[in-house]
Structure 1
């Protein structure tokens, strides 16, 4: 599990965001380190209220850059003035992206059991526990074991209970949702999603992380289910991890790059617009410069709308921990290059939304008098001055996209 260090500056809202980040990290099996030098990842939650504060934020970011192997910068200054951190070797991102970015390429590791949770209007439904993979870098397998899938009927009843309790967004989660049912010799995810979408009520469903190796055998059926059900966000999270088949083999991933491409092509064919979220691990011990370039080429070719870039970090009790690692400078340079390409690609996506009108679901409060919403492809839309419009979590409404930042758009009700 990862060790994290987090520092928070600014108002109570920022402190609330940091608490949410820490809660997600702890739920995924990670724990707080004694300090940045002992952490696998350091998180700096910034403030930008006055010029002196900005100077202090940049100074602290530079200090943390020297103290840790991986730095994430988030918060108000990071979002409003991301270019200010261009000389800092850090990943700059929205608060919501931090927990996933800090996972180090490992599967999420929720707490014991697979019981649903209702947080505001968001229902979290773990459909199974464990996975069928044996990735050489991941320690999660030691904690979760092989996949254990409750029946479709049991999961549908849990989903129905969440909807009846007020859930407007159901998040289908698991270490690897794509292998749901494999322990019973079935590939049951498409049927489960169809059954959940048939539940009476107005709500949306987001499918959680599914490894390409798990969904490749059902990707055509799965894409059809997405096309047939408006309740499903047109969004999948399929972590490719590398553009090099040689590296994927050393990682013991259960897919090759071409399988990943086939999944993407199928969803492109079935859906007019959808969001692909994927992950890349840079600096794996056997990754050559040529391997890294293959990953960069794949990123530019596929142009995913959400990308998590992680520097390889050794985990105890994993086979990759015994490999001779690459130097920190190499990993930083490769991470920086990929993060820059990612920001360009993702920024173009949100910039291209400006002027569009779409239905969104208000999911949760944002900073100050703002709310966070999701469009049909699960892209984030921020509505400011929400109280003036009478918008609250759980509301569906039409929004005009008025502006964008690198990782999200701004909208107003129409």
Structure 2
């Protein structure tokens, strides 16, 4: 779990994005501290109204980079003028605000506490299906807080999902440290069975499956892919964090899976689904990662081409075995992160560019955006923004057919048809 410090400058939109960043961080078990000197990570949400503001943002970024271990820079100046921070040699990662929570987690699992209960946030219902995990990753502090997997019965989780839907949820987000090992403590991995029963609940809704480590998914990949193919309620979206393309590094990370198991999961879903989104995570600069190891990660990224990629520079967590390893220099981690992030943007940009001109049916309007826009998700959980939403009379909870008219790197723009 990370201690974070966040600073927000500029308009109401930036403040709203910072609130969402904090909400996701709290959901993952991280907590806010009063200043950067007490924090593991600092988050700077920037503004770029005038030249003086830009100078202030650069100066503050430089200060924060010296006061904390990791700095994440987002907001208007970061996205419009990210090169300014690089030119100033600021030791920080420039990210879209939506990428910040995943980056802060440092590749760790989300933290679901023993007393976690479902919550309804707008039209989104968050359903923790289990607590703990079966992994023992050398870099992760979450395990110290959660312990081994503890899976409530399928019937109990189905009833919680039904209650969320009856309360107005249109999107159910299945969460846990590792959803892929749900049921392992009872001798049977049964995520696929749980999903089938949730999809059978009466109502019009969608289900997104949260992070599932490749090892847990691998043993049920055929059954799981079949459930996705059979149920339109399921977003065709899988988050399987591989973390490295090197089996040597995966061994040092104690990740349990090997690269070929991850690839087999991807190939199985490719065979079962015509249109789906692969999401994965990479940790760059792990203490034992060599140039060759990094090259293998780059090759795996290009081979599997996930449409959502979280790139995190390794950061030591107190009390973990990896914290005792001799680390790589900050420059090495920065260069490797930059190289991977550039390929990431290329892959994601291409995925959204390919959507232009297509009609995506039954997109769910999930939440309001900025300046009279709404954020929608298509069947593969790709984000489509509709501007001037009030003119179309659409709002969160609606299902709409959208023609994709344009795109940015991380999302598309659509118009109702």
Does the CA-based 8 Å contact 1:283-1:331 persist in structure 2?
Answer: yes
Query: Given that residues 113 and 131 in structure 2 are in contact (C-alpha distance below 8 angstroms), is that contact kept between their aligned partners in structure 1?
Result: no
2:107 to 101, 105, 108: 105
Q: CA deviation at 1:72?
A: 1.9
- Residue 202 (structure 2) aligns with: 200
The secondary structure found in structure 1 opposite 2:207 is strand
Deviations 1:10-47 (A, max 9, x none): 11221122122112212322223453355332212122
8 Å Cα contact 2:137-2:255 kept in structure 1? yes
- How big is each residue's C-alpha offset from its partner over 1:349-374, in whole Å with a ceiling of 9 and x where there is no partner? 11221111102111011122111110
Q: Deviations over 1:178-209 (max 9, x none)?
A: 00001111111101001111111110000000
Over the aligned positions, Cα root-mean-square deviation in angstroms equals 1.7
Tell me if structure 2 keeps the 8 A contact 1:28–1:111.
Answer: no
Aligned ranges 1:15-414 → 2 under 5 Å: 15-82=15-82, 85-87=85-87, 89-359=91-361, 360-414=363-417
Displacement of 1:282: 0.8
**Distance in 1 (alpha carbons) for counterparts of 2:150 and 2:109:** 15
1:410 and 1:112 mapped to 2: Cα distance?
40
Separation of aligned partners in 2, 1:317 and 1:137 = 9
Q: Which moved more, 1:138-147 or 1:401-410?
A: 401-410
Quote how far apart the aligned CAs of 1:302 are: 1.0
TM-score, with structure 2 as normaliser: 0.95
Stretch of structure 1 that moved more, 403-412 or 31-40: 31-40
Counting matched residue pairs gives 414
C-alpha separation between the residues in 2 aligned to 1:147 and 1:182?
A: 7
Further displaced range: 56-65 or 361-370: 56-65
C-alpha distance in 2, partners of 1:84/1:400?
Answer: 35
Moved more, 107-116 or 70-79: 70-79
CA distance in 1 between partners of 2:45 and 2:121 (Å): 23
- Which secondary structure does the structure 1 equivalent of 2:194 belong to? helix
- Please state how far the C-alpha of 1:66 moved relative to its aligned partner: 4.5
Shift of the 181–264 alpha-carbon distance from structure 1 to 2, 3 Å rule, reads same
Task: Name the SS for the 2:281 alignment partner.
Answer: strand
Deviations 1:149-201 (A, max 9, x none): 11111111111111111100000000000000011111111010011111111
Gaps of at least 5 residues in structure 2 are none
Which stretches in structure 1 are left out of the alignment for 5+ residues? none
| Deviation at residue 112 of structure 1 after TM alignment | 3.9
Instruction: Give the Cα–Cα distance (whole angstroms) in 2 for the partners of residues 245 and 22 of structure 1.
Output: 34
* C-alpha contact (below 8 Å) 1:8/1:15 kept by paired residues: yes
